Amino acid sequence: MSQLAIKGGSAAAEPLKQVKWPKLYPEDEAAVLQALRQGYWGGIGDEQSPNRKFERAFADYHDAAYGTLVANGTVSLELSLKTGGVRPGDEVIVPAITFIASASAIVCVGAVPVFVDVDPDTCQISAAAIEAAISPKTRAIIAVHFGGYMADMDAIVAVANKHGLFVIEDCAHAQGASWRGRRAGSWGEFGSFSFQESKALSGGEGGIVLTNDAQLHEKAQLIRNIGRHTGQRAYNHYVPATNWRLGGLQAALLLSQFGKLPDQAEQRHRNALLLAEGVNRVEGLRSLPVDERLTQWGCYFFVIAFDAAAFGCSRDAFVQALRAEGVVWTTTGYNRPLYYEAAFSEEAMRPLLHESVPLPDYGQMRLPNAERWATSMVTILHYYLLGDRSGVDYILEAIHKVKQHVDELK
């Protein structure tokens, strides 16, 4: 193969540089214009509004009875926690490897995050680690489907049921994912999704809370809508609450984009399996396991375990070389477990929690699997996994080229 692109050669995956996300289609523009003309600008709406139509369609696709559309994926977690009855001083178990919102939402409702380790093979929250961390103050579990590869929901639900806890599935990465044929977001009491612009289903911003419990749904609707029932315009308020509604124009965009999600989710799953097969043939690289229970891989990003000694260069050198070859959306994930974040220092957390609530000393935490994943993870965003397998072929060609010239990166 020719010289590495990072050394001045041509890029092996040059066409991938043109891949853009999110993708805008003419029907998306028409849907937003129609909402404008019909007066669906705000988030209250009626049963024919894009908001209500999207809630019904998205919930149905994800095997849930009800959906509550909100402003973003962070407040969808907060709404789930509040609706489930998490109170100040309660503890909520959350994995140490995830985006900060999975844990900061806990603090924002006055509760305490309890970070636990992830599985050494899948990088998903460990059911055994959950059980070991349960205390009399534990109220809930946030099970994050990291990268769109689903956590072991059979084991997690069993632990939750045993100890009388409720489960929030953080599905920000998992639109369309399924475990044994059942969609993400329908296994726990709540499924929380994000529609931020990088996500596999994007409305620019937005989020949704799914549930199969009618009473929880009604409570979520009240909390989302300043204590009013959905669609209610009169000044009657039944609980003290905030306003987390999403505007009708963004809902119209989401509803239009959603029409493409089922096919796109199948394409990502198919191409993720092909990419896993190819990656696992390269010394020093390992994909997440191909598990028959993961019947659809959401694949927000494709996670690779990188072994620097076996591959022959540092992780940073590999990522930079792969980007230069055209696989631009290659990253090192979140780089560190959440307990290292300054946001979880006593100085940052104490103003948000009651003075009587004891704070863990997160600075002393060291979870071995989380530490290993944080320093060995490479991620490739889902943008390349749509359509035929050409995106996969370009990625693998770039990887093989870097491997062949790895001595130049030492």
Catalytic positions: 99, 170, 173, 196, 199, 228, 235, 245
d(CA 221, CA 209): 10
Computed from CA positions of residues 352, 358, 361, 366, in that sequence, does the dihedral angle turn out positive or negative? negative
Cα dist. 315→84, 289, 330, 409 in Å?
41, 20, 11, 10
| CA gap 199, 204 in Å, rounded | 9
Euclidean distance between CA atoms 249 and 69, whole angstroms: 13
Q: How far is CA 41 from CA 73, 220, 399, in A?
A: 20, 22, 47
Cα 373 to Cα 120: distance, rounded to the nearest angstrom: 8
Which stretches within 1-87 are classed as H helix? Answer: 26-38, 50-61, 73-83
Which residue in the block uniquely carries the two structure tokens 């989020």? Answer: 207
DSSP for residue 247: P
Q: What is the largest CA-CA distance in the chain?
A: 70
Nearest CA-CA partner of 23 in 209, 267, 247: 267
Under a CB-based contact definition with an 8 Å cutoff, are residues 43 and 245 in contact?
A: yes
Residue 222 to residue 290: CA distance in whole angstroms: 41
